[in-house]
Amino acid sequence: MNEKKLKEILSEVKEDKLQPEEAISLFKDFDYKELNYAKVDNHRQLRTGYPEIVFGLNKTPDQIFGIVEYMLQHDNNILVTRTTKEVYEKVKKIASDAVFHEMANCLTIRKTTGKKPDTHIALVSAGTSDMAVSEEAAVTAEIFDNDVKRYHDVGVAGIHRFYDHVSDIRKARVIIVVAGMEGALPSIVGGMVDKPVIAVPTSVGYGANFGGLSALLGMLTSCASGVSVVNIDNGFGAGYLASMINKL
C-alpha cells in the first residue's frame, strides 16, 4: 500500500464516507500478503519510499504472474528483474502497459509518475558485453523516476572514448560505472569527477576473471576516492542506490 492510497482511506473515514470497520478490512493485508509461494511486502513503499521489487530468477512464470497480478491492485510501479520474454507475454494479458526491456531482462509496469529530481544519473559502461548489467541499473533508476544518461562502450582499452564524454559525465549528481575484465574503469572515472561513483563489477571476462571476482577485487581496492562497490552483476542494486543519492 502506498502513501497516496493510505491517505485516501483515512480521508474517507474522516469524512464519514467509509466506516472504520470497512477501513480495517482494507488494512487486512497492510503489512504483507501471503501467496503461499511468496509473501508480498505491502508496507515497503511506506517504510522505504520504494515498492517491493520482484527478483525473477528461478521463479516460475506462474509465480511471477501471481505476484504481479496481486501487486497491480496497489497502484505501485512494478519492476521484475532477471526475467524472460515468456513471463512478459504472460503478464501482458493482465497488464497491457507492461514493457519488456530485452537487454536488461527486466519487466516494468508504470502506474504512477513521481516528480523527477532536477539532477540526473550518469551510467558509464566499459563494453557492449556489460550492457545487460548496465541496462538493469538504468531501468531500475528510471522506474524510480530518475533521468539517466548513458555512455556505453567507453572502457580502458580505448580510454579516449571516455574522455570524449567526461565533461558531460561530470554534470551528473551520481555516476554508475559498470565494468568486467579487470574492472579498472571506476578508478579512472573516480579520479576525474567530484561526484559519488557506484562501481558495478560484471562477470564478463576470460578464465582468470573468475566470474567477476577479479573486477570486484579491483574495484574494492580502487585507489580513487569516492568509489563504492556493489556485488557482481548487481545492476539493480546500483540503480537503486543511485536513485536514493539523486533524490537526497
Give the whole-angstrom CA distance, residue 215 versus residue 125: 13
Of the pLDDT bands very low, low, confident and very high (cuts 50, 70, 90), residue 53 is confident
Closest of 153, 103, 104 to residue 125, by C-alpha: 153
Pairing of strands 32-34, 39-41: antiparallel
- Assess contact for 201 and 183: CB atoms under 8 A: yes
pLDDT at 28: 57
Give domain limits for the chain. Answer: 3-109, 121-246
Of the pLDDT bands very low, low, confident and very high (cuts 50, 70, 90), residue 113 is confident
HSE-CB of 105 using CA atoms within 13 angstroms = 16
pLDDT at 111: 85
H helix runs in 183-233, sequence order:
185-190, 213-220
Mean pLDDT calculated for residue range 130-135: 96
Greatest distance between any 2 Cα atoms in the chain:
68
Q: CB count, 10 Å around CB of 60?
A: 11
Q: Give 242's contacts (C-beta < 8 A, 6+ positions apart).
A: 121, 137, 141, 146, 174, 176, 198
Give the whole-angstrom CA distance, residue 6 versus residue 9: 5
Please give the model's pTM, rounded to 2 decimal places.
0.85
Residue 91 per-residue DSSP state: H
In degrees rounded to 5, what are phi and psi of residue 233?
Answer: 65, 15
Closest of 136, 121, 105 to residue 232, by C-alpha: 136
- Assess contact for 65 and 87: CB atoms under 8 A: yes
Give the whole-angstrom CA distance, residue 198 versus residue 7: 35
Model confidence pLDDT, tens digit, residues 163-215: 999 999 999 999 999 999 999 999 999 999 999 999 999 999 999 899 999 99
Output the average pLDDT for the chain.
88
Mind giving me the DSSP string for 32-84?
EEE-SS-EEETTHHHHHSS---EE-TT--HHHHHHHHHHHGGGT--EEEES--
Fold of 121-246: Rossmann fold (3.40.50)
pLDDT surpasses 90 at 22: no
